[in-house]
């Protein structure tokens, strides 16, 4: 990564999570003072273990739904990187109340606390689920449909609040619409595990993964290092036209679930040939899922200087190597 944020005080909410912990690691490596706010509802303490003795790292165990915790976390902070949320479409369908409370209520509390502390910029994790039922491919930022899940609704409402706070209070905000991020530290356990770590875990256990639908659904899978790059760039950009915007953060290539399965199986077979005899099982499509997702990243390229460095296959090789040593 060429351009990195350095010598700043940053807050990463949800810093014990998958993406959050990768941001914490990157910001510490580039010489920042990093505060992590997490309630460990989905984040994991082991994701932070390597940073706990670092004098430039501080952990605040708290909840974004508690405004006092938000105020405490933003004290003296230059940049907020808001990753805290309850992810997963199925989780939001099962429990829309908690997803809404965290993803909207917590977001607004965190945004208002950042405004009150006069932070330089508030950069937040938006989501490709905002595109909902809009049929066009690739997805471009100014053309969205109706979200298909409570989760998608919450992430869209966050964008509306961010835009309103920017115009009402003058706080600089940037939303990054993540497209199916994967990589090291993504949790393969639990009922709401993402598809890549779930496939990896199943294959490593010599079990057949379940594909929802016929495997033709496709996604713009995005390696976590590309997401980390986008967050650095969102903090560094000085062009006023680039602020108070939302950007797609992806690689700009589409992989369907059948292709994904065979790609993962191929990489695992390099050290475990037995997986070559495993084929996927198929079930009904999952409620709330969109059939296809593919991002245009031209806006992020032109205004942020975003240039994803790892393809899906390159990222997958790194991810499989991490899982091999950590599962």
Query: DSSP class of residue 273?
Result: G
pLDDT at 192: 67
Q: How many CA atoms lie within 13 A of 152 on its CB side?
A: 20
Q: How confident is the model at residue 90 (pLDDT cuts 50, 70, 90)?
A: confident
pLDDT of residue 1 exceeding 60: no
Q: What is the pLDDT of residues 136-152, one digit of tens each?
A: 999 999 999 999 999 99
User: What pTM was computed for the model?
Assistant: 0.95
pLDDT at 3: 87
Q: What is the pLDDT of residues 169-219, one digit of tens each?
A: 999 999 999 999 999 999 888 766 789 999 999 999 999 999 999 999 999
* Local structure of 211: helix, strand or coil: strand
The pLDDT mean for the chain works out to: 94
**Rounded distance, CA 216 to CA 218, Å?**
6
Task: For residue 306, indicate whether it is catalytic.
Answer: no
**Rounded distance, CA 289 to CA 129, Å?**
9
Catalytic residue among 79, 151, 223, 247: 151
Q: List domains and CATH numbers for the chain.
A: 9-183+222-252+296-309 (3.40.50.720)
pLDDT at 282: 95
Interaxial angle between packed helices 195-204 and 257-269, expressed in degrees from 0 to 180 and rounded to the nearest 10:
40
Nearest CA among 246, 264, 241, 265 for reference residue 312: 264
């Amino acid at each position: 990564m060429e351009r990195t944020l350095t010598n700043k005080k940053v807050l990463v909410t949800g810093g014990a999570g998958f993406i959050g912990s990768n941001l914490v690691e990157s910001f510490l490596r580039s010489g920042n003072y990093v505060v992590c706010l997490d309630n460990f509802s989905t984040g994991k303490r082991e994701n932070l273990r390597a940073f706990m003795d670092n004098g430039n790292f501080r952990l605040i165990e708290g909840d974004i739904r508690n405004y006092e915790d938000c105020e405490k976390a933003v004290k003296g902070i230059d940049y907020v990187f808001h990753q805290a949320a309850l992810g997963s479409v199925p989780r939001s369908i099962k429990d829309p109340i908690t997803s809404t409370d965290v993803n909207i209520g917590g977001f607004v509390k965190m945004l208002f606390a950042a405004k009150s502390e006069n932070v330089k910029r508030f950069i937040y994790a938006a989501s490709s689920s905002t595109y909902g039922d809009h049929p066009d491919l690739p997805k471009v930022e100014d053309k969205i449909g109706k979200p298909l899940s409570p989760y998608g609704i919450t992430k869209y409402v966050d964008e509306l609040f961010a835009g309103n706070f920017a115009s009402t209070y003058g706080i600089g905000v940037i939303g990054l619409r993540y497209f199916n991020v994967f990589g090291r530290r993504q949790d393969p356990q639990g009922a709401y595990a993402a598809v890549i770590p779930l496939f990896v875990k199943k294959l490593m256990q010599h079990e057949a993964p379940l594909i929802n639908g016929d495997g033709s659904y496709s996604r713009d899978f995005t390696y976590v290092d590309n997401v980390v790059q986008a967050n650095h760039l969102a903090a560094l950009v000085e062009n006023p036209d680039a602020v108070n915007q939302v950007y797609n953060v992806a690689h700009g290539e589409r992989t369907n679930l059948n292709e994904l399965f065979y790609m993962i199986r191929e990489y695992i077979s390099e050290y475990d040939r037995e997986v070559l005899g495993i084929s996927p099982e198929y079930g009904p499509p999952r409620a709330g899922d969109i059939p296809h997702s593919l991002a245009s990243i031209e806006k992020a390229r032109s205004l942020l200087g975003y240039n994803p460095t790892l393809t899906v296959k390159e990222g997958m090789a790194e991810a499989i190597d991490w899982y091999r040593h950590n599962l």
